[in-house]
Amino acid sequence: MKQTENRTVSAANHAVSVAIQGGFGAFHETAAKKFFGNNPITIVPCDTFTDLFDELREKRVDCGIVAIENSVAGSLLQNHSFLSESGLPVVGEQYLRVVQNLIALPGQSLEDIREIHSHPVAIQQCHLFLNALRIKGVKIVDSVDTALSAKWIREENLMGVGALASDLAADMYNLEIIRAGVEDNKRNFTRFMIVAESDKVKRLAKIANQKVNKASLCFSLPHQQGKLSHVLSVLSIYNMNLTKIQSLPIVGVEWEYLFYIDLIFSDHKRYKQALDAIRPLTENLQILGEYQNGEQPSQD
């Protein structure tokens, strides 16, 4: 469910309301701020992605920002399904360099920490660091969100308990970074999609003026040999750069799948021709979004 806590944010009518999964200080908030830049936004925290898409469907927010894949942990499979089932368009994307920190109440050292809480994906990203602590008896606990773990520690005044979270969460909840950058792989990036039907969002210069050169598609295939290979060959003929392919089983139909693909193209006309060429080869072809390829951040 949507969180009901208050926070001082811009309440101006022209501010864009952005639904995020997680609490204030979550990586979703950082990604939203990076994407919208100087545009005023109001962050609307949601406990789950189900809640986030409910907010969008009920038009209680202008847009949502949704993590879709991580360079270490892989795809967030459920979110692919949410995007397809919602019918809401993707209007942009944002890459974020994810730095995980061990944070806790001030005045403690690493040796004082008996438990560490965080989202399972964050825990997966910090396996080496956490495993060394687990061997020494530190308890590692899955939670619903990185930032909400930090918030809980502050509200309950929990000594000896740490969280894996962002530096934004540490600042927001007045916690101390005991160890910074504890993720295993420093090339740890998450890709977020901005989902919106609102004209308020689409009129923003960030979106209205973008050069559309990327598309996210979803389709199923007849259960015949070589059909996927045929589709990919056609896309190659039209010079489509396939940057991602993900398959998910179709619930209730054994051994048949939905395919989610991302394409980058330089010629919009050729892209439209490619869609026309693969449409007869696919079933239920769905354009999830057409937008500008996001800039990938450097390691630093």
Name the pLDDT band for 252 (thresholds 50, 70, 90): confident
pLDDT tens profile 144-180: 999 999 999 999 999 999 999 999 999 999 999 999 9
Comparing 257 with 128, which gets the higher pLDDT? 128
Q: Phi and psi for 141 in degrees, rounded to 5?
A: -125, 130
For residue 275, give its domain range.
214-291
Contact 215, 265 (CB under 8 A): yes
Instruction: Give the pLDDT score at 179.
Output: 97
Question: Do 161 and 271 lie in a common domain?
Answer: no
Rounded Cα distance between 271 and 277, Å, is: 10
4 inside domain: no
Q: Residue 299: what pLDDT?
A: 53
Bridge partners for 157 per DSSP: none
Q: How far apart are CA 9 and CA 127, in angstroms?
A: 35
Distances (CA, A) of 120 to 145, 164, 223: 8, 10, 35
Q: Rounded distance, CA 50 to CA 53, Å?
A: 5
Same domain, 194 and 224: no
Nearest CA to 22 out of 67, 79, 84 is that of 67
Q: What is the mean pLDDT of residues 244-256?
A: 85
123: in domain: yes
pTM: 0.88
As a whole-number percent, the residues of the chain with pLDDT over 70 amount to 95
For residue 11, is it within any domain? no
What average pLDDT does range 110-137 have in this prediction?
96
Q: Is the pLDDT of residue 12 over 50?
A: no
Across residues 246-271, what is the average pLDDT? 90
Query: Are residues 57 and 70 both part of a single domain?
Result: yes
- Residues of the chain with pLDDT > 90: what percent? 83
Which residues, 6 or more positions from 30, have their beta carbon under 8 angstroms from its beta carbon?
Answer: 96, 166, 168
DSSP E strand stretches across the chain? 16-21, 41-46, 63-70, 74-75, 90-97, 101-104, 115-118, 139-142, 161-165, 176-179, 189-195, 214-220, 241-249, 257-264, 283-291
What's the start-to-end Cα distance of the chain, in Å? Answer: 36
Domain count within the chain = 3
Same domain, 93 and 22: yes
112: domain CATH number is 3.40.190.10
Interval 76-90: pLDDT, tens: 999 999 999 999 999
262 has a pLDDT exceeding 90: yes
Query: Does 89 lie in the same domain as 130?
Result: no
Q: Are residue 125 and residue 26 in the same domain, yes or no? A: no
Q: Is residue 138 part of a domain?
A: yes
| Among the ranges given (131-145, 163-177, 231-245, 286-300), the one the predictor scored with the smallest mean pLDDT | 286-300
Over range 27-52, report the average pLDDT.
95
Question: Looking at the predicted structure, is the pLDDT value of residue 2 above 60?
Answer: no
Task: Based on the fold, state whether residues 80 and 127 are members of the same structural domain.
Answer: no
pLDDT of 198 > 60? The answer is yes
Same domain, 33 and 157: no
Do the domain assignments include residue 298?
no
Rounded Cα distance between 64 and 57, Å, is 10
Mean pLDDT over 248-261 rounds to 85
In-domain check, residue 300: no
Q: Are residues 197 and 235 in the same domain?
A: no
Q: Do the domain assignments include residue 278?
A: yes
Longest dimension (CA), the chain: 64
**5 domain-assigned:** no
Give the residue, 240 or 296, on which the prediction is more confident.
Answer: 240
What integer pLDDT is reported at residue 193 of this predicted model? 98
CA quadruple 30, 34, 40, 42: dihedral sign? negative
Q: Reply yes or no on whether the pLDDT at 9 is more than 90.
A: no
Strand segments, DSSP code E, in 99-145 are: 101-104, 115-118, 139-142
Shared domain check, 194 and 152: no
Q: What is the pLDDT of residue 60?
A: 96
Q: Is 215 a residue whose pLDDT tops 60?
A: yes
25 and 140 part of one domain: no
Burial 12-44 (b: 16+ CB within 10 A, else e): eeebbbbbbbbbbbbbbbbbbbbbbeebebbbb
| pLDDT greater than 60 at residue 5 | no
- In whole angstroms, give the CA distance from residue 202 to residue 34: 17
pLDDT at site 4: 41
**Domain co-membership, 48 together with 161:** no
Tokens of 61: 């927010």
Interval 39-58 mean pLDDT: 95
